[in-house]
Amino acid sequence: MRTYILFFAIAGAALFQTACKKASIKTTHGYDFTNFTNLEGVKAQPGEAVLVSIATYVGDSLMGSTYKTGGPREIQIPELDKMPPKVPPIFDALLLMAKGDSASVIQELDSMMIKSLPPALKKEKQLRFLIKLVNITSKSEQEEKEKAAIAQSAAVETSLQATLAAYKAKTLGDRLKKTASGLEYVVEEQGTGAAITEGEMLSTDYIGVLLADGKKFDASYDRGEPLKFTVGQMIPGFNEGVMLLNHGGKATFFIPWKIGYGAEGHPSGVIGPKADLVFYVDVK
């Protein structure tokens, strides 16, 4: 249900200076690891979910930033028997960290990695991750969270299907609005936060169904975490819809195919050609 996040970054020059004063050790799979804080507490375990901020450096060049791309990310640490054949350094590092710890782990760059680097960085030999372990979610807590997410998903989908039925029966009345692009929408709650603008990072729970038959094709609720995205990078109808709301807003969007996935549909085949879509969205 979760994506393994292996290449996020935070600004960390000060943290790196601290690292220089700490002794490093070798992880289980031979990576150089330095724990800057060595806090008391239970270490992260295989199978647990962790919330982390991660900075990725090649030499002194920062390659990205979780602070610039929506904040800390949740990573599912695989069970030991489900680890990839070449265990990523971040997994090794996390298993040596407690909640609140800050650390670094270094991976030697291989020829394939170097080939993908900009010319100015091809002389570098190491990839360095600076990691802040923000929180640990135990397996039992994950199970409870997933149960709650499934229940919430079912309740929201039931409500969405009722709205879709009313749309088809033309009984939504004045609640249904329409824009010049063809987007139709029903605002459930406008939201009391700031207006949403193009280019900002947004966190949104949603369920998407096909207008024709109500079949669900995607839902953040089923994954147990909101979708984080930059407004303007989704399909046109979704982008337009969220910018009609404030933070905290909830709405249902009826998106014609021309401002959805177009005449070709989605490459996965889940959304066919010229498919009209319906989304229920809950903007954080």
Q: What is the pLDDT along the chain (284 residues), one digit of tens a residue?
A: 333 333 333 334 444 444 445 679 999 999 999 999 999 999 999 999 999 999 999 999 999 888 777 789 889 999 988 888 889 999 999 999 999 999 999 999 999 999 999 999 999 999 999 999 999 998 888 778 778 888 888 999 999 999 999 999 999 999 999 999 999 999 999 999 999 999 999 999 999 999 999 999 999 988 878 898 999 999 999 999 999 999 999 999 999 999 999 999 998 889 999 999 999 999 99
Give the domain-ending residue among 137, 164, 186: 137
Decide which of 75, 104, 137 is a domain's last residue. 137
Beta carbons within 10 angstroms of residue 261's beta carbon: 20
3-state secondary structure at position 2:
coil
- Quick one: tokens of 72? 């800390």
Q: Is 198 found in the same domain as 80?
A: no
- 263 and 199 in one domain? yes
Tell me which residue range forms the domain holding 166.
148-283
Q: Quick one: 152 and 274 in the same domain? A: yes
Last residue of a domain, one of 137, 156, 172: 137
Q: Quick one: 23 and 99 in the same domain?
A: yes
The whole-angstrom separation of Cα 126 and Cα 19 is 15
201 SS3 class = strand
Single-letter residue type at 103: A
Q: Is residue 193 part of a domain?
A: yes
Distance CA 53, CA 72 (A): 5
Name residues whose C-beta falls within 8 Å of residue 47's C-beta, 6 or more positions apart in sequence: 77, 78, 79, 139
Q: Which of 45, 40, 54 is nearest to 103 (CA)?
A: 54
Position 21 scores a pLDDT of 52
* Residue 244 to residue 181: CA distance in whole angstroms: 13
* Res 109: pLDDT: 93
DSSP state at residue 119 = G
Are 163 and 109 found together in one domain?
A: no
Q: Is 112 within a domain?
A: yes
Angstrom distance (rounded) from CA 203 to CA 244? 15
Query: Do 57 and 31 share a domain, yes or no?
Result: yes
Give domain status of residue 120, yes or no. yes
Number of domains in the chain: 2
User: Same domain for 174 and 271?
Assistant: yes
Q: 102 pairs with which residues across the strands?
A: 132
Q: Report if residue 84 sits inside a domain.
A: yes
Q: Is residue 253 within 8 Å of residue 281, measured between CB atoms?
A: yes
Please report, for the domain that includes residue 38, its CATH number.
Answer: 3.10.50.40
**Which is nearest to 206 in space by CA: 265, 283, 270?**
283
* Coil/strand/helix, residue 65: coil
Beta strands in 41-200 (DSSP E): 49-58, 61-62, 73-76, 102-108, 126-137, 176-178, 184-189
| 271/187 same-domain check | yes
Same domain, 123 and 178: no
Within-domain flag for 266: yes
| The two three-digit tokens of residue 195, written as one number | 């207006």
Residue 185 lies in a domain: yes
Question: Same structural domain for residues 57 and 169?
Answer: no
User: Are 121 and 25 in the same domain?
Assistant: yes
Residue 2 lies in a domain: no
Q: Per the confidence metrics, is the pTM higher than 0.85?
A: no
- As separate numbers, helices (DSSP H) first and strands (DSSP E) second, the chain gives 6, 14
Task: Establish if 1 belongs to a structural domain.
Answer: no
Domain match, 55 and 176 both: no
Q: DSSP strand E in 27-100: where?
A: 32-35, 49-58, 61-62, 73-76
